[in-house]
Amino acid sequence: MRRGNLIVLSGPSGVGKDTLLSRLIERVPGVVKCLTATTRAPREGEQHGVDYLFLSPEQFAAWISQGKFLEHAHYNEQYYGTPLHLVEEARARGLDVILKIEVQGGLQVRQRVPEAILIFVQPPSLEVLRQRLTARGTDSPEQIASRLHIAEQEMRAIPHYDYLVTNDTIEEAVDLLRAILLAERARIRKEG
């Protein structure tokens, strides 16, 4: 059986990665999102084992020292990491595994798994991102300013990614992501 691809999906907060990912999973059979771990507290409605594996800082540190993470990063004062075994099990079953992770983690995956496919989702402009974050209504003006600052920094990692998708309209962005996944399944030559 063909081993599934490993795909990293990164992009600034508020760019619409969750919506794109759920639409993509609906449209392309054989794609799964990998559950990841975090030390942050669950938000309302979030469940352990569904949204994240919610670990204490001590558990997270133990997992790091036991080599259980494919990558891990410190982001927004919390730790986030991808459990290696979840990625390996899904890929061994022939599934394409998508990691929705921030850029520090994406670059670690690039180092450790050279054949990984890195996709960056950008907003049409920072101004559009500001409008979307404002419309979402979950952040204070200070938090929005901080997210925009982080977004600018994250966008500096774009040259290290393989594909750039602009989320202008959701339909077009999902079409493009689907095309990338299908083309990558047909690839013969793997670089790395």
Give the binding site for ligand 5GP (CB under 6 A).
36, 40, 71, 73, 75, 80-82, 100-102, 104-105
The neighbour count for residue 139, using CB atoms within 10 Å, is 15
What's the CA gap between 151 and 56, in Å, rounded?
Answer: 27
Q: Considering the complex, what minimum distance in angstroms separates the CB of residue 36 from ligand 5GP?
A: 3
Residue with smaller CB distance to ligand 5GP, 46 or 168: 46
Backbone angles phi, psi at 156, to 5 degrees: -70, -20
Q: Which residue type does 160 have? A: H
Residue with smaller CB distance to ligand 5GP, 61 or 182: 61
Minimal CB distance residue for ligand 5GP: 105
Q: Considering the complex, what minimum distance in angstroms separates the CB of residue 55 from ligand 5GP?
A: 11
Q: Considering the complex, what minimum distance in angstroms separates the CB of residue 151 from ligand 5GP?
A: 10
Residue with smaller CB distance to ligand 5GP, 46 or 187: 46
Q: Considering the complex, what minimum distance in angstroms separates the CB of residue 78 from ligand 5GP?
A: 7
The sheet carrying 96-100 orders its strands as: 31-33, 96-100, 6-10, 117-122, 163-166
Residue with smaller CB distance to ligand 5GP, 82 or 122: 82
Residue with smaller CB distance to ligand 5GP, 76 or 125: 76
Q: What are the angstrom distances between the C-alpha of 124 and each of 21, 40, 85?
A: 18, 30, 36
Q: Considering the complex, what minimum distance in angstroms separates the CB of residue 1 from ligand 5GP?
A: 26
Residues contacting 9, CB < 8 A, separation 6+: 17, 20, 21, 98, 99, 100, 101, 119, 121
Q: Do residues 14 and 171 make contact, with C-beta atoms less than 8 angstroms apart? A: no
Residue with smaller CB distance to ligand 5GP, 4 or 81: 81
What's the CA gap between 37 and 48, in Å, rounded?
Answer: 9
Q: Do residues 8 and 101 make contact, with C-beta atoms less than 8 angstroms apart? A: yes
Q: Considering the complex, what minimum distance in angstroms separates the CB of residue 22 from ligand 5GP?
A: 14
